[in-house]
Amino acid sequence: MRGGSNLYALSVDVTKPAEIVFGIKKAIEKFGGIDVLANFAGISSYETFEETSAEEVREVMETNYWGAFNTCKALITYFRENNKGTIINCTSVIGLVPRTFGCAYSSSKHALEGLTSVLWLETQNFNCRVMCVEPGLYPSNIGKGKKKYKTQYSEYNFVNTQIINLRRNYINDLTEAMKCIINTTENEKLPRRLLLGKDCIARVKYEINTILQNIKYSSLISAKIARTLEGKRYTILDDAVFYFNKIFHFFNYIFYSLVEIFAKKDKKSYFFDKKIKERNRFAKSWVNK
pLDDT digits (tens, 9 = 90+) for 17-41: 999 999 999 999 999 999 999 999 8
Q: Could you tell me the sign of the dihedral formed by the alpha carbons of 15, 18, 19, 24, in that order?
A: positive
Q: What's the per-residue H, E or C state across 42-60?
A: CCCCCCCCCCCCHHHHHHH
Give the length of the chain: 289
| Cα dihedral sign, 41-46-49-50 | negative
Residues 108/82, Cβ–Cβ less than 8 Å: no
- Residue 128 host element (H or E): strand 128-135
Nearest-angstrom CA–CA distance, 92 and 106 = 9
Which of 124-133, 176-185, 245-254 is least confident? 245-254
Supply the CATH classification number for the domain 4-225. Answer: 3.40.50.720
C-alpha closest to that of 185 among 270, 89, 250: 89
Strand partners, 89: 39, 132
Q: How far apart are CA 129 and CA 70, in angstroms?
A: 18
Whole-number pLDDT of residue 187: 93
Domain boundaries, the chain: 4-225, 236-287
Q: Which residue has the higher pLDDT, 192 or 150?
A: 192
Encode pLDDT of 203-224 as tens digits: 899 899 999 999 998 988 887 7
If DSSP codes are grouped into helix, strand and coil, which group holds residue 172?
A: coil
For residue range 7-18, list pLDDT tens digits in order.
Answer: 888 888 999 999
> What pLDDT sits at residue 161?
43
DSSP label at 162? T
Q: 170-178 long-range contacts, Cβ below 8 Å, gap at least 24?
A: 170/198, 171/138, 171/139, 172/135, 172/136, 172/137, 172/138, 172/196, 172/197, 172/198, 172/199, 174/138, 174/139, 174/140, 177/135, 177/138
Q: In what order do the strands lie in the sheet with 36-39?
A: 36-39, 85-90, 128-135, 193-196
- Integer Cα distance of 115 and 123 in angstroms: 12
Position 6, amino acid = N
- What pLDDT sits at residue 14? 92
The pTM of the full predicted model, rounded to 2 decimals, is 0.76
Q: Does 166 score more than 50 pLDDT?
A: no
